[in-house]
Structure 1
């Protein structure tokens, strides 16, 4: 250990608590090795004094396992590191210039495990990983002190977190392809959002168990939710979706698995137990990307163009021909069509070889939706399919429909879209409060664009009186309860918090959800396909990894719901 100040003493004390033996420690200050015969030392330094023969820092490196530098820059060279034992741990923490330059250290030997205090190198040891969350946990149980048990709890929590799968937003923040526990990732990144829900509970538990907590926590799940809410955006609904999916994971076909973002999402889905991925695409490309990502869990890979899938492809082609032979498709055309991934994936779901499907990242929406309509089709009793986007806003979840399919729906079609969206909201555990939006408020315009919305509302009020819906209404009135109550107290929405917006046409819905997403950084889940016979969901072109993962969770929940409904019918 190079350095004998408060940082070095505190770190070394922690190492001893974790099991290091004092007789194996050599600590150096500016005057050299701290030995028992020195008379210029304080009590803190003397506890690490050794009776070993005096050596200089260079000599001390020989045959050691760990170097901790909390001293001065450029006092260590590559030759010193080469004299250490196998797989040496080197923490060069002096800032801004470490005891040894990172690149010099890494060039000295291949087996080195290296960390610094700098953000421009892997393994930055940063005190923001610890102190904010230690104090958070201590304050939340009104701890009378911060003791060793609490510090050790934080240490173990940080160490365990480093071994967990890394959220994609952390990879993006640091420009990494796929962070995973190993030589270049031994400690979580400071921007990891999980720190706040991992360390404070560990510290709070340790405070309670060691008897220094004045206000113990009894509901740990509620406490973790409170911690996560401090991050500035409410992702509670997303967490609930992921948890629901994990209760009964389903087989999900990822039709574009040789796209790096799709494969990343599939890896997360598998690692977090959300679903069971089936990867469609070129096998050689998928396997190469999996190796790059460290995706080493066994996973079904299918190449629809490969001769390996000849039997399956022929079977699917025959079934497709039966579906389409009266609509101009020949047997030859069917075989050729089934080489296309979206058709192949849709047939997997149709025939029960998979439970759900995700596609659309690399193709336009119309191209992706066509195979779903030709093969999967509408659910029984549904005469209009539509899509909704679930926006995770600061005011709570907000459904926006129809964002992708119906260009200019008429009054009856708008009513059907509202019904479908209401059912989807209920699937998420949300009681729908629906505003049918327009540029006009309650009959203030006689233009057909406004009157069709009024007709849709009239239809819903007459035939579905239990559905909480009203309009036509301008969006600002719909989203401002006070304004709505003061101007239109007669409305069914008065005094209610609207959580669903049905727009009169595709361009207004699509533009609105994309504007919300880009201007406010709002998370969007969707487009969620509504009214389909099977769980097939088509993403917008260029969807992010997190969006793909969230949609996979929705697909699993959709499959769970359809399975439940089918069993009830039986």
Structure 2
């Protein structure tokens, strides 16, 4: 109850709600006012009339996204209506701004008619650079997004579908690598047939899962060819030619179990019946289909992910939509296509396999994150996600011909993205660039220290400097092996160096009046 009370206080304290509009230009004097509004504002209006693309130059359109909802599928709460869904849409706006510096207006539409939602979005196209559809129930959400993508020239993205699919697909790639299974060979069961389940299944197939190896279930059991009860055209796409009729039957021998359904849908018996090294993504919110504790109580070889932050491997949509829109907006993409989604999947998967910096560990109470069974997907507060996903989206948009303003220098674009993460980042990037122009040699004592080895790795990869590690050669190499770091840098072992005696004599000369003996100098070095 305390948590619920805190939430209400969070939303009601101070200025009500979670968002506000802030001016990006000064408006303190009469002169400012004459430029911000009449008569000066007439000039950009006339310029845009002559060249509509100038709207991206003179207005906020290029960095403005509409979060559109009718509140018919709010979180796991169901059909609450447009007004009751507004706190979620405002929250979405916060995440867009916090993680990708994108401005948002939330638009709650009081209608369950999909054609009215379509018409409203189409009429708003001059205002926004992109449309994020949110919390609209299936199957209407499929029809709405499909129609808008065909009729609009700005990106339209239903996050409930594609966000979950992108994050879970990235996690799936890494989980399969850990258990040494090929995606073409696995048998996968998807429990749930709503928006996110549909998209997860489609993206898994795009990554290489064979359609014949996939079974989808809903509340009535397996979706099989010839079934008539509770069917629609979107479920029909995944109707399997199978003898299985229940989730329990389908789960037996399966390699992967995707849950986009409800609390408790996966039983310990199902987990026990799966193939060796099973992968379970129990993504129902707020409570998963099965908890990691219950899954591991049955078998220790399971890799499990959930949608919750209090468990490892959180499948969190915030790893996707802010950065996907960032890349799409920055090249003025006309849509977010399948190639862009796959680019996001691969960027996230690759990032999880990289060394996790200390800054991320500190954000999570100094936990250590290393690619493995409990870390197959990056953390939401990892600042590198922006620098990996947004450029990947931009590249894919350019390569597939949907970018109206291609990026000419990707390295400078990434630097720009980094500068948006704060002034300190911008200053640090300037210092790094200066160092990279003329890399110097830097000697590091305590060369077998984990932080020193990681720092040396970063210096080499960024081309900032030429590190030299000082210490016991064997210990340094052993530590590198423990950290799974392959680093080709000079190692100076004082026990083996010809200069040790020279330096010992010099140290003795400098410190003998302080009582330091020659033998102590030799021992210190």
TM-score by length of 2: 0.57
Answer whether contact 1:66 1:89 (CA < 8 A) is retained.
yes
> Which residue does the alignment assign to 1:222?
412
Q: How does 1:251-290 map to 2 (within 5 A)?
A: 252-257=442-447, 261-269=451-459, 272=462, 274-275=464-465, 277-280=467-470
Q: How does 1:518-529 map to 2 (within 5 A)?
A: none
Q: Distance in 1 between matches of 2:423 and 2:506?
A: 49
1:173-213 CA-to-partner distances (Å, cap 9, x unmatched) read: 12345423222221111111112222222212222332322
Structure 1 segments unaligned to the other structure (5+ residues): 345-570
> Which residue does the alignment assign to 2:521?
337
Q: 1:166 aligns with which of 342, 345, 356?
A: 356
* SS in structure 2 at match of 1:67: strand
* SS in structure 1 at match of 2:191: coil
> Which residue does the alignment assign to 1:116?
306
CA pair 160-312 structure 1, distance change in 2 beyond 3 A = closer
Q: How does 1:378-527 map to 2 (within 5 A)?
A: none
How far 1:326 sits from its partner (Å)? 8.6
Q: Distance in 1 between matches of 2:384 and 2:393?
A: 15
CA pair 223-269 structure 1, distance change in 2 beyond 3 A = closer
User: Is residue 2:382 matched to residue 1:192?
Assistant: yes
Q: Distance in 2 between matches of 1:288 and 1:148?
A: 44
User: Is residue 2:237 matched to residue 1:52?
Assistant: no
> Which residue does the alignment assign to 2:166?
none
> Which residue does the alignment assign to 2:192?
3
Answer whether contact 1:290 1:296 (CA < 8 A) is retained.
yes
- How many residues were matched structurally? 335
Q: Distance in 1 between matches of 2:290 and 2:363?
A: 27
1:318-346 CA-to-partner distances (Å, cap 9, x unmatched) read: 45426764984799923312332xxx3xx
User: Is residue 2:507 matched to residue 1:317?
Assistant: no
Structure 2 segments unaligned to the other structure (5+ residues): 1-189
Answer whether contact 1:67 1:89 (CA < 8 A) is retained.
yes
Q: 1:72 aligns with which of 262, 277, 282?
A: 262
1:36-80 CA-to-partner distances (Å, cap 9, x unmatched) read: 111131111110001200332122122211111000112223332
How far 1:20 sits from its partner (Å)? 1.5
Q: How does 1:197-216 map to 2 (within 5 A)?
A: 197-216=387-406
Answer whether contact 1:74 1:100 (CA < 8 A) is retained.
yes
> Which residue does the alignment assign to 1:61?
251
Q: Which has the higher contact order (CA 8 A, sep 6+)?
A: 1
Q: How does 1:554-565 map to 2 (within 5 A)?
A: none
> Which residue does the alignment assign to 1:454?
none
Q: 1:14 aligns with which of 203, 207, 221?
A: 203
- Root-mean-square deviation (CA), in Å? 3.3
TM-score by length of 1: 0.52
Answer whether contact 1:4 1:29 (CA < 8 A) is retained.
yes
1:229-252 CA-to-partner distances (Å, cap 9, x unmatched) read: 222334234234445555776654
Q: Distance in 1 between matches of 2:218 and 2:238?
A: 11
CA pair 106-6 structure 1, distance change in 2 beyond 3 A = same
